[in-house]
Amino acid sequence: MVFFEVEMQWNVLISPNELDAKGLLLQKAIIVRLMEEFANRKASKEHGYYVAVTSLNSIGEGKVRGLTGDVLFPVTFSCLTQKPAKGEILQGSVEKILKHGIFLKSGPMESIFLPEKMMKDYHYVAGENPVFLNDKHSKLEKDTIVRFNVLGFKWLEYDRQFQLLATLAGDFLGPV
């Protein structure tokens, strides 16, 4: 997975009880609020998945909101992001097995589909705990770690996540 460090601007709302004349608690409150907001935001089409706030670069002048006393601060910060790329080799764990393919999870990406047609030499075996087997007795079952190639992806705005299509076609791909 490719990691990027991007600089972003954001408006952070701080309540009056989090303000401090020395500024140290203010900086901490802004970082905590940024982390909370980006954990809820999860990802964007432009930047990918938000992993961590790495630095708080600047804090602008706060503007007091009249009714609540909250202060709105424009901030500039750097954060680490992950974005999938076509042709990238990733590892993920098997989450769900269906007759027509497997759903994988890899890091923050929870919607990766590996269709049966893209699993060369594997066939579906039904049962209480379904699996995919090949002639060499290699098994894909729940919680198996799988190395795969990203065929393509699309951004789902409603879910704020990427949906990936995977394949096992290629050298050194499959169960780890």
Query: What is the CA 77 to chain-centroid distance, rounded?
Result: 19
Residue whose C-alpha is closest to residue 93's, from 109, 108, 84, 104: 104
The pLDDT of residue 20 is: 67
CB 79 within 8 A of CB 38: yes
Annotate 105-161 with DSSP letters as a single string. Answer: EETTEEEEEEEGGGSTT-EEE-SSS-EEE-TT--EE-TT-EEEEEEEEEEEETTTTE
DSSP H or E stretch at residue 56 = strand 48-59
19: number of Cβ within 10 Å: 15
Residue with tokens 């030499």: 121
Exposed (0-12), middle (13-18) or buried (19+): which is 78, by Cβ within 10 Å? middle
pLDDT in tens, the chain (176 residues): 778 999 999 999 988 877 766 656 778 888 888 888 877 888 999 999 998 888 889 999 989 988 888 899 999 999 999 999 999 999 999 999 999 999 999 989 999 999 999 998 899 999 999 999 998 889 999 999 999 999 999 999 999 999 999 999 999 999 99
Query: Residue 118's pLDDT is what?
Result: 94
Any bridge partners for residue 43, and if so which?
Answer: 49
Mapped onto helix, strand or coil, the DSSP state of residue 41 is helix
Q: Residue 156's pLDDT is what?
A: 94
Residue (of 147, 161, 132, 164) closest to 93 by Cα position: 147
Enter the tokens of residue 60: 């602008």
Give the pLDDT of residue 133.
94
